[in-house]
Structure 1
Amino acid sequence: MIEKKHFSQTDSLEKTKSFGLLANGNEVFCYTLTNKNGMELDVMDYGATITSLRVPISINKKVDVVLGFETIQDYIDSYSLPSAPYFGCVIGRVAGRINKARFKLNEKEIILSKNHGLHQLHGGKEGFGQKIWKMKKYTHGDFPSITFEYASQNGEENFPGVLVVEVTYMLTESNQVIVEYNAFSTDKTIVNLTQHSYFNLDGHQHNISNQQLFVNATNLLETDEENIPTGTFLPVADSPFDFSEEKKCPLQIDNTFVLDKNNSIAASLYSQKNKLRMNVYTNQPAVHIYVGGNCFGQIKGKEAVNYHPLSGICFETQHFPDSPNHPHFPSIMLEKGEQYYHQTIFAFETI
């Protein structure tokens, strides 16, 4: 039974639904934001996860541009796939890989949980995407928004300090999805959050191979055979990773681009089929681009779609992976009482 205490306005009941029950009996809720143009964003409190984003492309047609599942059990089961997709969730405490799952803090070595061979990936064995977030604020009107909060306890996945994180999703009148993160810690720690939606502007049931990609980067991070940054910056010029001019999405990519500051757009994606463009803006120094979504025929996506290796593309705006182990990388250290602030905007327009 949905209780009124979950909501801030009387019409909220119509914009909220149960997304199923967890094994412990707790109910998962999914909330819908709608702007004046009819754009609709569905977000659930499990992982503060975007489950659907329906963008108007004509007067009578919308396209769902993100991958996702229809039940909470499918999201839970997806973490047991050969490669967990992390569909639509907030990644934390630290996005990307941490080499050997360890780093130094105040000259003391911190040994983290390992969930990717010898390394830690996307926050560990049970990262933020597998947590129930508290819904704190839910508003409608011209700029509908929802705010979730999660308190990561001291020692969770062996990270130090209690880290309190808020993430807010907002829809604007110009069809922007604004994602804002704020975080504070009770002790010095590291934090590098990102949003892990897989986009497909042709629609989530298609593949991304004919869509056009632009990335505003002169350099990317060199990585070793296990995709751990070596600390070296490589120029993208004359390489397969040069997207400084729009070209077709790559069939395989899992790379971190160092964003240039001479252009406000971090990256963009364009669908000729739907005449739809998505521009990505961020205050972060990097965007990690990943093409994938494969569910290995084991779990059906929304509308019984079989997701495959070309189902979607992620724009993981963030700091550099493995930053604590590379002193010349921008720092992801967060001092006690300091504020972590991260903003990313996904802006949609029909051409």
Structure 2
Amino acid sequence: MSNSIIELFGLEADNEVINSCELTNGNGMQLKVITYGATVTSLKIPLKSGELLDVVLGFDTLDAYIKSFDLESAPYFGCTVGRYAGRISDGTFNLNGNSFHLNKNDNDHHALHGGSVGFSKKIWKIKSKNEGLNPSVTLSYCSPDMEENYPGELSVELTYSLSEEDELIIEYKANTSKDTVVNLTHHSYFNLDGHVSNVLEQELIINAGKKLETTDEMIPTGRFLNTANSCFDFSRAEKCPSKIDATFVLDPDSKLAASLFNKRNNLKMEVYTDQPAVHIYVGGNCFNAIKGKENADYHTTSGICFETQNFPDAPNHDNFPNSILRKEDTFNHKTIYKFESF
């Protein structure tokens, strides 16, 4: 039986209420999302063994999520990233003959995760929920004109839903009052073995023959590197690397971006998207400063991110996919994380 439940998750510093919404599909798959950062806190998958396994990293309390942004390298567990996922060189881009200077939060650049205070730290509103065959919740956030120095008031709706095929479906829709740039993504760290292990024995496939070349500061040069016969070649199943932080150019003829398989419990996840790239990152370290869910100690190989998105720094490269949202248009992005237990 499908259902949805809304509960209090905590109070923010100025006593603003942060709610949690739980969705359950007919198979027993469970999703929990909080309104702080439109963040996925839990995703439980029913296994053939009867176990219900939580496959994303996160925290048990709102206080831990807030404090995690003060860590040496904030993990951004499960959050929504915007307005622009990925770095923007020198924090600057030109649009309609005007130059926009974004807040810089990584050396001289507007770094990944949307700047100094991105969507991951905003309080979203629950707009609607559905308890039908495919339970869903829609959250909304209105980003004011010139927030982080982006032009236009950007109205965003984000819908999380669970299908009867054990898919987590994430759909973004955005409109702007002025021409702007936008690139939204999801930042869950997945581990198909739960919380106590690492991802190093899990098998990764990435449906890409190229990756973006970047500088030492992770800024795209505008060039593409072939991945064949390199350490970035995941055209066939390979064990997850202990360190990776790279943007892969997806096959435009296929919606399948990547897959992850855990042979210990025969659980598989496939990632489908309509976006041109997936950024792959292995990490999750909380530096022994904050405990994860169920008192877990997260480390540098605790989870792997599949951030489906446009290219970083696309506003500054004519040969990259268009990242401009015109005021008369609507931004759409759909990504599916599909699970199968054998």
TM range (shorter): over 0.9
Partner of 2:179: 188
- How far does residue 96 in structure 1 lie from its aligned partner after superposition? 1.0
- How far does residue 106 in structure 1 lie from its aligned partner after superposition? 1.4
Aligned counterparts of 1:333 and 1:14: Cα–Cα separation in 2: 35
Task: Give secondary structure in 2 for the equivalent of 1:154.
Answer: coil
My pick for the range that moved more, 253-262 or 308-317, is 253-262
Q: Among 70, 77, 96, which residue is 1:80 paired with?
A: 70
Partner of 2:40: 50
Instruction: Note the 1:178-327 alignment, pairs <5 A.
Output: 178-327=169-318
Instruction: Note the 1:80-159 alignment, pairs <5 A.
Output: 80-121=70-111, 122-159=113-150
Give a deviation string over 1:276-326, Cα, whole Å, max 9, x none: 000000000000000000011111100111100000000000000000111
Aligned counterparts of 2:118 and 2:252: Cα–Cα separation in 1: 31
User: Structure 2 regions of 5+ residues with no counterpart?
Assistant: none
Aligned counterparts of 2:47 and 2:3: Cα–Cα separation in 1: 27
For the structure 1 residues 13 and 348, does the alpha-carbon distance in structure 2 shift closer, same or farther, using more than 3 Å as the test? Answer: closer
Task: Give secondary structure in 1 for the equivalent of 2:66.
Answer: helix
Partner of 1:160: 151
Instruction: State the AA in 2 paired with 1:294.
Output: N
Task: Give secondary structure in 1 for the equivalent of 2:72.
Answer: coil
Query: Equivalent pairs: percent with the same residue?
Result: 53
TM-score, length-normalised on structure 1? 0.95
Aligned counterparts of 2:154 and 2:279: Cα–Cα separation in 1: 24
For the structure 1 residues 338 and 314, does the alpha-carbon distance in structure 2 shift closer, same or farther, using more than 3 Å as the test? Answer: same
Count residues with an aligned counterpart: 341
Instruction: State the AA in 2 paired with 1:126.
Output: V
Give a deviation string over 1:6-52, Cα, whole Å, max 9, x none: xxxxx999822211111100111111000010000000011110000
Instruction: State the AA in 2 paired with 1:218.
Output: G
Whether the 8 Å CA contact 1:139–1:145 is kept in 2: the answer is: yes
Q: Among 316, 334, 337, which residue is 1:346 paired with?
A: 337
Aligned counterparts of 1:139 and 1:194: Cα–Cα separation in 2: 23
Aligned counterparts of 2:86 and 2:297: Cα–Cα separation in 1: 26
1:169 aligns to 2:160 (yes or no): yes
Aligned counterparts of 1:77 and 1:291: Cα–Cα separation in 2: 21
- How far does residue 59 in structure 1 lie from its aligned partner after superposition? 5.2
Whether the 8 Å CA contact 1:35–1:141 is kept in 2: the answer is: no
- How far does residue 117 in structure 1 lie from its aligned partner after superposition? 1.6
Partner of 1:29: 19
Aligned counterparts of 2:255 and 2:334: Cα–Cα separation in 1: 13
- How far does residue 331 in structure 1 lie from its aligned partner after superposition? 1.0
TM-score, length-normalised on structure 2? 0.97
Task: Give secondary structure in 1 for the equivalent of 2:197.
Answer: coil
Task: Give secondary structure in 2 for the equivalent of 1:256.
Answer: strand
Aligned counterparts of 2:3 and 2:91: Cα–Cα separation in 1: 43
Give a deviation string over 1:143-201, Cα, whole Å, max 9, x none: 10000000000010000000000000000001001100000000000000000000000
Task: Give secondary structure in 1 for the equivalent of 2:256.
Answer: coil
Whether the 8 Å CA contact 2:4–2:129 is kept in 1: the answer is: no
Instruction: State the AA in 1 paired with 2:61.
Output: T
Aligned counterparts of 2:249 and 2:213: Cα–Cα separation in 1: 11
For the structure 1 residues 284 and 14, does the alpha-carbon distance in structure 2 shift closer, same or farther, using more than 3 Å as the test? Answer: closer
Aligned counterparts of 2:2 and 2:239: Cα–Cα separation in 1: 41
Task: Give secondary structure in 2 for the equivalent of 1:19.
Answer: strand
User: Structure 1 regions of 5+ residues with no counterpart?
Assistant: 1-10
Instruction: State the AA in 2 paired with 1:342.
Output: H
Aligned counterparts of 2:145 and 2:194: Cα–Cα separation in 1: 41
Instruction: State the AA in 1 paired with 2:69.
Output: Y
